[in-house]
Structure 1
Amino acid sequence: MNLSMISKGLLIALPMLALGACSSTTDADAEAAAKLQAEQAAAAAKKAAEDAVQTDTIQAIELTAEEKLVEQYTSAILETTINFEFDKSVISPKYATILDAHAKYLVNNTDKSITVEGHADELGTPEYNIALGERRGLAVSTYLENMGVSASQITVVSYGEEKPVNLGHNESARAENRRAELVY
């Protein structure tokens, strides 16, 4: 009887013990799995946040570079005067940025047109200065056309010495009057 009581007790206790062992292992496994899942979620969230910050930084840098280009373009297109040397109609390389900006604007806005007004200083005959103003206007027109602007968007007019920007009679005043004006 003693043995049978012990056997019965063991029969009842062993399955309970086995169930208890499984139960605690399952809880431990569940806790470990939950902890692992939480760590993975935290790592993923951290990576996503870092990626977002990096993307925002890259976009800010790109925007800044784009803003600089727009600023350069805007300041260049606000310049509408191309000056020339005495008795010359050759465009100085220092005006390339300005003319490139105007060309880009006209190429992107084919509904817009421009008048290039050629001017000269007071030296020389009126006829000569009209011809010189025409050559200066045509030089600017040719430059714009070479940059892709349609000839139909450009009109050239020469005023010779008739519309000085500076009424003085010294070299500084004359230098200001040797020009082509871009008028939209």
Structure 2
Amino acid sequence: MANLAGKVALVTGGGQGVGQGIALALASEGVAVTITGRTLAKVEETARLITERGGKALPLVGNVKDAADLAAMVDQTVTTFGGLDILVNNAQEVPLGKLEDVTDEAFMAGFESGPLATRRLMKLARPHMAARGGGTIFNLCSSAGIRWDMAGYGAYAAVKQAIRSLTRAAAAE
């Protein structure tokens, strides 16, 4: 990786899985990391792993479907670490199952936690990144949208393709 020491990152869904792996990798490069998730014990565990290795971590509980939580995540990151350089939009409620079986609530939760939360966080983070001369945004997508056999993945693929489109538009703008 490029020299990331001294940078500040916000990783949603950083309490487990891919998000935790990204948070740990960034911290190992000297990045101060805010880890967010819905479960306090999980984000605290990731923070513990980071601080045990000499890194800086801020564990925050929040739901990416809640606009106020997103604003608080960004504000607390900037207040604690002095800015924001890297945003990792990882958290996502995944609507899996046959299209006829996925409830409207699950479908909407996928879009609220996926493309809507992604757009909101990009919008919130951008001014802080610009104030530091720029930044980097990672929006996690999936190959599910381009699979030939999408049985059981239709709603998930729709959500991830929407994130992919938002990412392309943001890069162009």
Rg larger in 1 or in 2? 1
- Which structure carries more helix by proportion? 1
Highest RCO, 1 vs 2 (Cα 8 Å, sep ≥ 6): 1
Q: State the TM-score, normalized to the length of structure 1.
A: 0.29
Q: State the TM-score, normalized to the length of structure 2.
A: 0.30
